[in-house]
Amino acid sequence: MENIAIIGIGMIPIKANYKTHNFADMAWETVNAALADAGISIKDVDNVITTSNDFWDGRTISCMAVGDASGVREKNCSCVEGDGTFGAFYGMARILSGSYGTTLVTGHTKGSESISSLITNAAFDPIYERALGPDMISGCAMQARAYMEKHGLTSRQTALVSVKNHGNAKHNPYAQLPMDISVDDVLASEMIADPLRKLDCSPVSDGCCAIILANEEKAKKLCKKPVWVKGAAFTSDAYFLGDRDLADPRSLVAAAKKAYAMAGITDPTKQIDIAEVYDAFSYQELMWLEGLGICEPGQAASLLEKGDFAVNGKLPVNASGGLLSGHPVIAAGLYRIAECVRQLRGEAGAVQKDGAKTAVAQGLNGVAGQSHCVWVLGADK
Amino acid sequence: MAKKRVAVVGTGQTMHKSHRPDVNGQELIHEAVKTALADAELTINDIDAIVIGNMDHFEGINYVDCWSVDGSGGWMKPIIKLTTGGTTGSTLAIGGYHMVASGLFEKVLIIGWEKNSESDTTGAITTAFDPIWDRLVFAGAIAGLAAEGMAYMTEFGITDKDAARVSVRDRKHACNNPYAQLRQEVTLEEVLASPMLSDPIHLLDVCPRTDGACAVIMASEDVAQKICPTPAWVWGTANRHTYTYVGDLNLGEIDSMKYAAAELWKKTGITEPRKQIDVIELYQPYSFAGIIWIEAMGIIPRGKGAEYIWSGATDMGGELPINPSGGVIACNPIGATGLIRCAEACTQIMGKGGARQVPDVNLAVSTGFGGCFWTDILLYGKQKPDF
Amino acid sequence: MARGDHLVISSGDAVQPFNYAVGLHGSKFFHELKENRRIVGIKCPACGKVYTPPRRVCGDCFVENKEWLEVGPQGVIDTFTIVRYAFIDPETGKQKPVPYGYGFIRFDGADTRFQHFVELNEARPIKIGARVEPVFAEERKGTIRDILYFRILD
């Protein structure tokens, strides 16, 4: 693949409720943060991809709300519906096609404006499933049960993910829920959908994130500290939960395999320095790490207990605090990419992994991780 | 990887109807996919990635990319959803183009679909507009279009009879298209006598709502001609989402079309679009657009559209036939509509148009319309572009 | 299989309620409307365009609008239609009462158009260029319904 760089990132702090901001207000602040970070003006942006979801926004053609605030007036633009990592993928393809030198990619969600369970219930099949009342939490609870059963894991082990990530969030000015909690706190929290307790679940959040992608020529001209895209790929599993082995994230395995092949990664455990994964629920961090090939299936929990995934461990995972500390749905994967960029530039402050050279970021769509998008980023070309 | 040239190598459509209770959404999608694969003589295993789109609130299904896989063939494949409102279908075509041109995927399946019968279309479109400012008074696509038609009529003194001539043309053309939903000729008098929906738009001036799906397969220049001996090469794409608020529009012109078309002509070396282009599949949801939007496209000067339509130049057999398929007025499964324009334009290049074939098509254009008067536009050629 | 064998499943009365944030600029507009029956717009510092409804960003210039101005309350109809067809109003779930006048109104001193109901009155027909003024609700709550409709003046 021709070299593509991330030359700017913009985030606004993730909050429970941006009451004062509509979607355009959030996009305006985020896009300007990304432009300032890249040291460029909107004139240097050749085209724009916004990422949003009509259900979450309560608006058909949800992208319409943020056009002006994302600078699309005189530019080619398009809109991806799904996680921001997918929007970023399309933004990258539009550069690789030779059509544009730079792409601005944004993603926004305000979970605060709707009733989340109704929104995610609409992801279930209207004919066979929806009337039974499933939502993201109950669907994922079923996956958690299947995964824990398969590998003999306990709620105490998965709770440790929540303890680690809320602790990491204390160092992240963009995180919504920095907390000092213990495994016992997690186990004492309200049972939401067995085996998931409140502190196993990510919160409902508002947020917006933007990244600016560029080809090598533009990156060299515009940017002092580009972070390079080494590989990116996405894959979907079957739709009906009953058609899938919920404990086997095979679409993530497939996407990771392809992204690693592009990046020349043969031994992810050794070659990846940090990971930002889609921990919508505590068990998911462990499951996705295994799907990403960072460890063998069933091994992530014991490596977590050993401290391997802590900020000062072998391979820090969600040093930002992850989604458990703030989950603006559509923007979530872009936040993962942006957090990797901060690490690879050496700008992650108290949670910086010394000498981080290679990072993996993950986003997903659908219930219980049906469709995954994996990004491998590098400090060096 | 270097930029790859891209061609359309196969297309497929469902038989579009007002209601398709015989199939659910996935089955409807599958019908189009199966037809496109057969057209290209490929199997789903040959497809490297899928781009899909519709408008969520017409069916009330969230994460359609995920939900669709049993029909789309996206099982264990990359599948991505693009959605831009009425422009969705053309946005998908542009998306498929970039995915193949990037060199990341060799063969991409593009799917647009809608089951408009499953909800109240105008109600769903109304929620496209700003909940704070617009929803009280906005009444779906028809009222917004009526406001454009009224502004143009007042400025140039045309009448609803001029617009009716466009509707007569498209409804006649539709009789040649086996896929079209409405295949019945109408007279000027019938259009003008049909009920006034929203002044100055009569019932027979506007598109129906439709259940239907369309699939298009694009392939890179490395394999395109092996798959299809006369593929339709994508010469270029352009789009604009010029405005965010309806109240900011220059109603009576369409700025997005003006800017997008000008960019496309410049990029592809088109200097006299009226003479160089052989056929246009225009996303024309109501008859007045057949006059106003071809002016913005640069086909004829502003204010001269009606005269050009009356000359017969855009009829079958004229100098620049528009909508040989019958266009949107004859068939409108919204998320598929822009992609049907792409499929129909490419069908013309491939010479597979049957009764609706325009002779000797070398260059064809398709457009998409949607959102806040947004435009997508694509140019296709029989020859591989040399740029 | 006969056509009658195909089943349709209804979503029933399912609704998804939302709480839309108006944002800083819209909030000021509605406060002025509710408390003072005043219409306000906001001016782009670069191109000078006055936006009503007000918003943070000038899409043309990609700069932040800052200067608030009072506009209207009278204005002119830039374009309009009369909506005559029946449809389900997503705000209420019920059929919208038709016909109604739907106008794009440019307040005096504003450059963009404000959408609202315009009265249908045989004595003063709705037309492009007609002057209008808002009829305010007696009880105002800070929403678009604080204006009942626009009255045609000539």
For A271-295, how does the pLDDT look when each residue is reduced to its tens digit (9 = 90+)?
999 999 999 999 999 999 999 999 9
B203 and B60 in a single domain? The answer is: no
Say if residue B175's pLDDT is above 50: yes
Decide if B1 is inside a domain. Answer: no
Cis peptide before A195 (omega within 30 of 0): yes
Decide if B285 is inside a domain. Answer: yes
Do the chains contact at C16 and A122, CB–CB below 8 Å? yes
- Strand order, beta sheet including B211-220: B79-81, B49-53, B107-115, B211-220, B6-13, B232-240, B374-381, B363-370, B279-281
B268 and B201 in a single domain? The answer is: yes
pLDDT for residue B290: 98
Do the chains contact at B122 and C112, CB–CB below 8 Å? no
pLDDT for residue B1: 36
Retrieve residue A135's tokens.
């939502």
Indicate the pLDDT class of residue B123, thresholds 50, 70 and 90: confident
B17 close to B212: Cβ distance less than 8 angstroms: yes
Burial label for C5, CB within 10 Å (0-12, 13-18, 19+), is exposed
Tokens 């491998």 correspond to what residue? Answer: A376
**Which of 352-381 (A) contact B at CB < 8 A?**
365-367, 370-371
Sequence-ordered strand ranges (E) for chain B: 6-13, 49-53, 79-81, 107-115, 196-198, 201-202, 211-220, 232-240, 279-281, 363-370, 374-381
Retrieve residue B30's tokens.
């599958």
Distances (CA, A) of A53 to A58, A115, A330: 8, 14, 7
Decide if C8 is inside a domain. Answer: no
* B124 contacts on A by Cβ (under 8 Å): 60
- C39-43 and C50-51 strand pairing: antiparallel
pLDDT digits (tens, 9 = 90+) for A16-62: 999 999 999 999 999 999 999 999 999 999 999 999 999 999 999 99
Retrieve residue B149's tokens.
């038609």
Say if residue A74's pLDDT is above 80: yes
Q: How many domains does chain B have?
A: 2
- What is the dihedral angle through the alpha carbons of A107, A108, A111, A117, rounded to the nearest 10 degrees? -40
Do the chains contact at C57 and A68, CB–CB below 8 Å? yes
Do the chains contact at C26 and B133, CB–CB below 8 Å? yes
Within 8 A by CB and 6+ apart from A124, the residues are A130, A134, A135, A139, A367
* CATH numbers and ranges of domains, chain A: 4-115+204-222 (3.40.47.10)
- How many CB contacts within 8 angstroms connect chain A with chain C? 60
Do the chains contact at A238 and B125, CB–CB below 8 Å? no
Q: How many domains does chain C have?
A: 1
Decide if C144 is inside a domain. Answer: yes
A76 close to A201: Cβ distance less than 8 angstroms: no
> Which among B24, B198, B209 is the top mutation candidate for probing chain C, defined by the most C β-carbons within 10 Å of its own β-carbon?
B198
Share of chain B above pLDDT 90, in %: 90
A196 close to A53: Cβ distance less than 8 angstroms: no
- Strand order, beta sheet including A206-215: A76-81, A47-52, A102-110, A206-215, A4-11, A227-236, A371-378, A358-365, A274-276
Note whether A241 contacts B: Cβ–Cβ < 8 A: no
Q: Which chains touch C (3 or more CB pairs under 8 A)?
A: A, B
Q: Which DSSP state fits A135?
A: -
Say if residue B287's pLDDT is above 60: yes
Decide if C51 is inside a domain. Answer: yes
> Which among B206, B241, B248, B286 is the top mutation candidate for probing chain C, defined by the most C β-carbons within 10 Å of its own β-carbon?
B248
What DSSP string describes B230-282? S-EEEEEEEEE---SSGGGS-BTB-HHHHHHHHHHHHHHT-S-HHHH--EEE-
State the alpha helices, DSSP H only, in A23-134: 23-38, 54-57, 84-96, 116-121
* A333 contacts on B by Cβ (under 8 Å): none
Q: Measure in Å the smallest separation between the Cα of C135 and chain B Cα atoms.
A: 15
Do the chains contact at C21 and A118, CB–CB below 8 Å? no
Q: How much is the average pLDDT of A119-137?
A: 93
* A77 contacts on B by Cβ (under 8 Å): 239-241
Decide if C9 is inside a domain. Answer: no
Distance CA B71, CA C58 (A): 43
Nearest to B338 by CA among B125, B75, B86: B86
Q: Measure in Å the smallest separation between the Cα of A29 and chain B Cα atoms.
A: 17
Q: Please report, for the domain that includes residue B222, its CATH number.
A: 3.40.47.10
B97 and B203 in a single domain? The answer is: no
Decide if B55 is inside a domain. Answer: yes
Do the chains contact at B84 and A63, CB–CB below 8 Å? yes
Do the chains contact at A113 and C19, CB–CB below 8 Å? yes
Count other Cβ atoms within 10 Å, centred on residue C141: 10
Distance CA B330, CA C13 (A): 32
Decide if C1 is inside a domain. Answer: no
* B102 contacts on A by Cβ (under 8 Å): 92-97
Decide if B387 is inside a domain. Answer: no
Secondary element (H or E) of residue B125: helix B121-126
Rg (CA), chain C: 19
Distance CA B347, CA B231 (A): 9
User: A74-78, A124-128, B275-279: which has the minimum mean pLDDT?
Assistant: A124-128
Range of the domain at C135: 22-152
CA C46 from chain centre, in angstroms, equals 26
B223 and B343 in a single domain? The answer is: no
Burial label for B139, CB within 10 Å (0-12, 13-18, 19+), is buried
B160 and B61 in a single domain? The answer is: no
Q: ipTM surpassing 0.90, yes or no?
A: yes
B29 and B56 in a single domain? The answer is: yes
**Which of 92-111 (A) contact B at CB < 8 A?**
92-99
> Which among B66, B72, B75 is the top mutation candidate for probing chain A, defined by the most A β-carbons within 10 Å of its own β-carbon?
B66
- Give pLDDT < 50 ranges for chain C: 1
C131 close to C154: Cβ distance less than 8 angstroms: yes
Say if residue B124's pLDDT is above 80: no
Range of the domain at B238: 122-208+234-381
Nearest to B309 by CA among B297, B294, B327: B294
Decide if B272 is inside a domain. Answer: yes
Do the chains contact at B134 and C18, CB–CB below 8 Å? no
Which residues share a beta bridge with C101?
C82, C118
B251 and B328 in a single domain? The answer is: yes
**Which of 244-303 (A) contact B at CB < 8 A?**
250-251, 254-255
pLDDT for residue C2: 55
Retrieve residue C101's tokens.
């006048």
State which residue of chain A sits closest to B77, comparing Cα positions. Answer: A235
Say if residue A66's pLDDT is above 60: yes
B285 and B275 in a single domain? The answer is: yes
Say if residue B2's pLDDT is above 50: no
pLDDT digits (tens, 9 = 90+) for A102-122: 999 999 999 999 999 999 999
B249 and B133 in a single domain? The answer is: yes
Distances (CA, A) of B100 to A87, A94, A163, B10, C68: 16, 10, 44, 14, 48
Decide if B386 is inside a domain. Answer: no
Q: How much is the average pLDDT of A67-78?
A: 97
A35 close to A210: Cβ distance less than 8 angstroms: no
Do the chains contact at C53 and B244, CB–CB below 8 Å? no
B92 and B76 in a single domain? The answer is: yes
Note whether B90 contacts A: Cβ–Cβ < 8 A: no
Do the chains contact at A28 and C57, CB–CB below 8 Å? yes
Distance CA C24, CA B309 (A): 48
Q: Which DSSP state fits B136?
A: T
State which residue of chain C sits closest to B247, comparing Cα positions. Answer: C113
- What is the dihedral angle through the alpha carbons of B269, B271, B272, B275, rounded to the nearest 10 degrees? -30
B368 and B241 in a single domain? The answer is: yes
* C145 contacts on B by Cβ (under 8 Å): 136
Decide if B370 is inside a domain. Answer: yes
Q: Which DSSP state fits A292?
A: T
Q: Which chains touch A (3 or more CB pairs under 8 A)?
A: B, C
Decide if C86 is inside a domain. Answer: yes
Do the chains contact at A239 and B78, CB–CB below 8 Å? no
Q: Measure in Å the smallest separation between the Cα of C41 and chain A Cα atoms.
A: 17
Give the global pTM: 0.97
State which residue of chain B sits closest to C101, comparing Cα positions. Answer: B137
Q: Measure in Å the smallest separation between the Cα of B253 and chain A Cα atoms.
A: 16
Nearest to A40 by CA among A222, A227, A220: A222
Residue from the list C18, C55, C56 with its beta carbon closest to the beta carbon of A58: C18
Note whether A68 contacts B: Cβ–Cβ < 8 A: yes
Decide if C114 is inside a domain. Answer: yes
pLDDT digits (tens, 9 = 90+) for B291-310: 999 999 999 999 999 999 99
B21 and B166 in a single domain? The answer is: no
State which residue of chain C sits closest to A67, comparing Cα positions. Answer: C59
What DSSP string describes A148-190? HHHHT--HHHHHHHHHHHHHHGGG-TT-S------HHHHHHSP
pLDDT digits (tens, 9 = 90+) for A310-348: 999 999 999 999 999 999 999 999 999 999 999 999 999
Distance CA B11, CA B230 (A): 13
Last residue of a domain, one of B170, B195, B227: B227
